[in-house]
Structure 1
C-alpha cells in the first residue's frame, strides 16, 4: 500500500490540463487512515496540500487503499461510490470527473 502523499504525487503527474480547462474546484479528500489532503484545480493547474480546506467544492471520504485503487484504474470510482467505499459531499457531479482530470495511463 502506498502512503497518501505518494498517491497524490502520482495523481498530479497524470493531470490533464485540457480536461480541467475552465474548471476551478477544490477536491477535499478525507482519508479514514491518513491525514486529509485537498487538491486545488485552477486555470488548468493542479496542486495538492495536506490539511483541510474550509471551502471545498466536493469532499470525498475513503481509505487510502480505495483512493489508490480508483486512481490506478483497478476500481471504478462510480462502483466504489455505489458500494459505499467512497462517501461524497458537495458537488457530486464534479467527483465523477476526477478520473477524466487525472486519467489512468
Structure 2
C-alpha cells in the first residue's frame, strides 16, 4: 500500500486516495497532518475539489464555504474557501469573501469526510464537525461533490 504523504497523494486518483485514508490508522494521519507536509496535502485535496464538483446537483446554489482545518503546528488552523456559483466551484487558501457556511474540523476528520470514509452527518452529531451559518447547506454539501467510496 502507498505511504500517506504528498508525493503519493499527487500520483493517485480519488478512489485510491479514499482507500489510502481508510487503510491508514488515524494516529498516522494525525502525525503526518501535524507535520511539514500538512499544507501540501491540504492543497492537493482542495485543488481536486473543482474536478469532483457536480454542477447538476448544485442547481442554482450560490455559496461561499470556509473550511477551517485545525490541529496544525503549534495549534494553528488552515482556512480554505470554496465558492460555488454559476454552476462552478473554485477554491482558494486565501479566503476573501464572507462565508454562508463555516465548517471546522481537525485534519483527520476532514480527510475522512472528503474520502468518503466518514459520515458527515454523524461526525456533526458527535461534535467532530462544527458548522456555523447555513446548516441546510452543511447537510447537503457532500452531495455537491463526487466523493469516492473506498
Q: Give the TM-score of the pair, scaled to structure 2.
A: 0.65
The answer (yes or no) to whether the contact 2:113–2:120 under 8 Å persists in 1 is yes
Matched, 1:68 2:106: no
The answer (yes or no) to whether the contact 2:64–2:97 under 8 Å persists in 1 is no
Where is the strand percentage greater, Structure 1 or Structure 2?
1
- Provide structure 1 residue ranges, at least 5 long, that are not aligned to the other structure: none
Q: Give the TM-score of the pair, scaled to structure 1.
A: 0.90
Q: CA–CA distance in 2 between the matches of 1:43 and 1:54?
A: 16
Q: CA–CA distance in 1 between the matches of 2:49 and 2:107?
A: 13
Q: CA–CA distance in 2 between the matches of 1:86 and 1:53?
A: 22
Residue 54 of structure 1 and its aligned partner are, at CA, apart by 4.3
2:95 counterpart SS class: coil
Residue 23 of structure 1 and its aligned partner are, at CA, apart by 0.7
- Provide structure 2 residue ranges, at least 5 long, that are not aligned to the other structure: 1-28, 30-37
Deviations 1:57-88 (A, max 9, x none): 00000112211111111000001101111111
The answer (yes or no) to whether the contact 1:27–1:56 under 8 Å persists in 2 is yes
Matched, 1:101 2:139: no
Bigger shift: residues 5-14 or 91-100: 5-14
Where is the helix percentage greater, Structure 1 or Structure 2?
2
Deviations 1:1-60 (A, max 9, x none): 472111212322211010112010001011113421010000110000113344100000
Q: Which residue of 1 aligns with 2:11?
A: none
Moved over 4 A (4+): none
TM-align CA RMSD:
1.5
Shift in CA distance, 53/85, structure 1 to aligned 2, threshold 3 Å: farther
